[in-house]
């Protein structure tokens, strides 16, 4: 019989893409107000892997990844996705979004994204939200899966997430030592 135990807290990460880079300046304070201090912000990443969002949001699109200082409980991901969906509506006009926020979390073995879309590899976590196993960590790096979105399969984002993972592992080690 397995014995249930609390999982380690996770590193909250949000991928934001937008059709106007100045939106970032307005949304960052709102994210900090809701989710705490920002730890790391990525450089701008190319958004040329898909045209899926162009009809709604226009082109070109710009992406940044935001990492928060405070660790989160893994089970809070559905509520976080609800909150980011509400924030997106602040940049919505005529039914069209200008901003998309994809929250997720990172733990040593994997990177998970929250989505409202069901699919075979996604697990329902409540509130109409599914957890998408996006990347796994093995052999010293993040590895894509057959369903990983192309933009998360790219070396630039995987490299950034590997840097975040290294910092998270140090933070987690310090936190554990505090409670010894």
pLDDT tens per residue, range 87-143: 999 999 998 999 999 999 999 999 999 999 999 999 999 999 999 999 999 999 999
Nearest to 164 by CA among 76, 104, 117: 104
Does 164 reside within a domain?
Answer: yes
By residue range, what is the domain housing residue 56? 10-178
Going by C-beta distance under 8 Å and a sequence separation of 6 or more, which residues neighbour residue 93? Answer: none
Domain harbouring 77, CATH code = 3.30.70
Please report the pLDDT score of residue 153 as a whole number. 95
Does 61 reside within a domain?
Answer: yes
Please report the pLDDT score of residue 139 as a whole number. 95
pLDDT for 12 beyond 90: yes
- With a pLDDT cut of 70, the percent of the chain lying above it is 99
Stated pTM of the model = 0.95
Does 67 reside within a domain?
Answer: yes
Contact status, residue 172 vs residue 80, Cβ threshold 8 Å: no
């Amino acid at each position: 019989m397995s014995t249930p135990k609390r999982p380690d807290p996770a590193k909250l990460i949000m991928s934001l893409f937008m059709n106007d880079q100045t939106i970032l300046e307005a949304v960052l304070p709102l994210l900090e107000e809701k989710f705490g201090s920002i730890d790391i912000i990525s450089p701008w990443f190319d958004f040329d892997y898909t045209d899926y969002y162009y009809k709604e949001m226009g082109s070109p699109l710009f992406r940044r990844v935001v990492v928060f200082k405070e660790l989160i409980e893994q089970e809070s991901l559905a509520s976080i996705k609800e909150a980011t969906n509400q924030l997106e509506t602040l940049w919505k006009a005529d039914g069209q979004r200008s901003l998309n926020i994809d929250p997720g979390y990172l733990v040593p073995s994997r990177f998970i994204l929250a989505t409202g879309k069901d699919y075979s590899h996604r697990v329902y976590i409540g509130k109409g939200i599914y957890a998408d196993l996006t990347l796994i960590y093995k052999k010293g790096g993040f590895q894509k899966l057959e369903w990983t979105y192309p933009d998360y399969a790219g070396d630039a984002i995987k490299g950034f997430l590997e840097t975040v993972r290294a910092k998270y592992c140090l933070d987690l080690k310090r936190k554990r030592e505090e409670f010894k």
